[in-house]
Structure 1
Amino acid sequence: MLKLDLPNSDIVYYPNLWSLKEANVLLQKLENNIQWQQDYITLFGKTHLQPRLTAWYGDRGKIYSYSGITMYPHDWIRPLLTIKETIEPIAKVNFNSVLLNFYRNGQDSMGWHSDNEKELGKKPIIASVSFGGERQFLLKPRDKNVTTRGEILLNHGSLLIMAGNTQKYWLHQIPKTTKFVSSRINLTFRVIVTP
């Protein structure tokens, strides 16, 4: 376990929560059984396809909206429940939803953002699970006068928990890379606090 030393944050990283064998099995099950989609997203007045595939699973009625997209949950499937049951005792949270991102190659990415939508409450706890190719996870403060930065290489079979004021004070991203990287699936487990 590694705790990141960044001000106004509560970020803990577990680099090898699953064994290589366990992680490989879960990756394959997710690739084959998740109902992946590619939505159009509107950013800064321009609409384009998201540079990754996504899916939203969770309890009935746990709807999630971001950047002009509204997602209605698919019912939980066994691989997701297996992962959920593993991380909940560590995070000390009962998650009711999960956003999945499928990065097919190094050109699939996620821009700077924070998970601060009103559905997530004031101090959301986000449990981010990674399977597949290792990708850089970058953090930068919202306050442009603060020069501190954070960086983690997200391993196959890892868990990253962001809690406390992290989403209030920090932005994060998965940048594009020109290096060869195998496909990666990321799951961000959340608690939707509004109906």
Structure 2
Amino acid sequence: MSLTTQPSLLDDVDDRGTSWLAPLAEGLERHELSRGAWVDVRPDWVRHSQALFEHLLADVPWRAERRQMYEREVDVPRLLCFYGEGAVLPHPLLGQARDALSAHYLPELGEPLVTAGLCLYRDGRDGVAWHGDRIGRSSREDTVVAIVSLGAPRPLVLRPRGGGRTELRLPVGHGDLFVMGGSCQRTWEHAVPKTSRPVGPRVSVQLRPRGVR
């Protein structure tokens, strides 16, 4: 896939030539929300993230989807790929990230992260509307959804479920980690708004436990 990408300044000064994970606990900051929800943010967790980003752009079998909306079928404004439990992930570092996150959150979650959903936002015309990941057990149970963000930063915004003003707005990209936990999927909503500004492509890797979509 041919898309114009802009590496981060941190990637420019790293000469390893391959992506790697920084220590997870260092720099991990928790934001307590209402009704038992929380989010953790770890900036620049994937170091030299441009290498991983370009690999995923080229090697993931991205596909376009269409979705029924009211009385018509529309294009989903992003490309997708899903790796179920036991599937070989498209890069070994994603397996390392999944294992590190599973170990870190096991005391709270009680189970590992086992699936990976990938989204490609090609430019500002791609986005995702307000929603919670409430397919499956997450509609009734606390859970964890961890997002590894690669490529150009895009705002990820959160608000309480049912509407109201945006409570949290974080520009994530270039190897940042964003984790939603507790009741977040049931009691809060998140979105990646579309924008008319010129922005480069972004890949979002969502790591989840069994039975959560």
Instruction: Mark the runs of 5 or more structure 2 residues left unpaired by the alignment.
Output: 1-27
Counterparts of 2:30 and 2:119 in 1: how far apart (Å)?
24
Instruction: Mark the runs of 5 or more structure 1 residues left unpaired by the alignment.
Output: 61-73
Deviations 1:109-145 (A, max 9, x none): 001100011254611210011000100111111144x
Aligned to 1:4: 31
Counterparts of 2:103 and 2:150 in 1: how far apart (Å)?
20
Counterparts of 2:204 and 2:165 in 1: how far apart (Å)?
28
Q: TM-score, normalised by structure 2?
A: 0.76
Q: How does 1:1-195 map to 2 (within 5 A)?
A: 1-8=28-35, 9-19=37-47, 21=48, 23-60=49-86, 75-79=88-92, 80-92=94-106, 94-120=112-138, 122-144=141-163, 147=165, 149-193=167-211
Secondary structure of the structure 2 residue equivalent to 1:101: strand
Alignment size in residue pairs: 178
Name the aligned partner's letter for residue 146 of structure 2: A
Counterparts of 1:14 and 1:180 in 2: how far apart (Å)?
26
Over 3 Å counting, the alpha-carbon distance change for 1:45 and 1:150 in structure 2 is farther
Secondary structure of the structure 1 residue equivalent to 2:205: strand
Aligned to 1:71: none
Name the aligned partner's letter for residue 77 of structure 1: P
Secondary structure of the structure 2 residue equivalent to 1:84: helix
Counterparts of 1:173 and 1:130 in 2: how far apart (Å)?
14
Name the aligned partner's letter for residue 62 of structure 2: W
Counterparts of 2:88 and 2:191 in 1: how far apart (Å)?
28
1:58–1:76 CA contact under 8 A, matched in 2: no
Name the aligned partner's letter for residue 160 of structure 2: P
Q: TM-score, normalised by structure 1?
A: 0.82
Secondary structure of the structure 1 residue equivalent to 2:46: coil
Shift of 1:153: 1.0
Over 3 Å counting, the alpha-carbon distance change for 1:162 and 1:148 in structure 2 is same
Aligned alpha-carbon RMSD (Å):
2.0
Counterparts of 1:159 and 1:45 in 2: how far apart (Å)?
37
Shift of 1:106: 0.8
Counterparts of 1:152 and 1:170 in 2: how far apart (Å)?
15
Counterparts of 1:40 and 1:53 in 2: how far apart (Å)?
10
2:38–2:180 CA contact under 8 A, matched in 1: yes
Shift of 1:188: 0.7
Identity %: 24
